Amino acid sequence: EQHIYRHNSAFVTLSEEMKRTLIARGIKPETITVIPNWADTDSIQPILREKNKLFDELGLSREGFYAVYAGTLGFLQEPDVILDAAKRLKNESDIRILVFGDGALREHVKNRIEREQIENVLLFPLLSADQTAQVYSIADVALVPLKKGMTRIAVPSETWLALAAGRPVIVCAEAGSEWARSIEHESYGVCITPGEPQEMADAIFRLHASTVPLSELGARARNYVCEHASRKQATRAYYDWIQ
């Protein structure tokens, strides 16, 4: 890592927080450009439930309320928070949590679901990229279970994918982080403290019971990613950086 820092004259980070991390490691600020991750907002768009064939393929009712995580089950994420939140929601019969994922912690998640009989969580393999819009369009809300401190070094691409599909998000990120400020300013979801399953359960329940239509939050989510993180914008930013 230090070799890379010493022998390169220009750097790209995905967020201002990651830029600050590099500055703290001795990189000159003027050599760092921030270009956010992006989503293909042309191919990933909201799909109406009645037109989403994935409900039928997975045997899911179109009448349920679904909180969805789709992505890597690894050590940057904290899937135990999802499982512990689900246990707190076990008496909410119409709320289901769907996990689409592979990775180092998949067996751990599978074993916990079976051992602890967490019946309101359904675990599926991570589906192909061309089904991304279908996966996120199942969701009433998308979950982003980052560990504490991870926003300094990681910006999960699945967050942008969920926003592109027009879904509000529940993001685990510290107060004052870029995600927290963005969500507070743009009102497309909820930011909660990392590692706090009760906060996740409460956020899911509040959105489920909300008098504000989730379609309004979803429209804000879609607008935000189209304005700030489309493929076209990212391509132009990288082109300008290379020039």
Model confidence pLDDT, tens digit, residues 167-183: 999 999 988 888 888 88
The pLDDT value given to residue 36: 83
CB neighbourhood size of 12 (10 A): 13
All domains in the chain, ordered by first residue? 49-228 (3.40.50.2000)
Tokens of 25: 């490691």
The pLDDT value given to residue 31: 93
- Decide: pTM greater than 0.85: yes
**DSSP letters spanning 165-201:** TT--EEEE--TTSHHHHHHHHH-SEEEE-TT-HHHHH
Q: Which residues of 37-61 are buried (b: 16+ CB within 10 A; e: fewer)?
A: ebbbbeebebbeeeebebbeeeebe
Q: What is the mean pLDDT of the chain?
A: 92
Of residues 107 and 146, the one with the higher pLDDT is 107
The pLDDT value given to residue 15: 82
Give the Å distances, CA to CA, from 165 to 13, 138, 153, 170, 241: 24, 10, 25, 15, 28
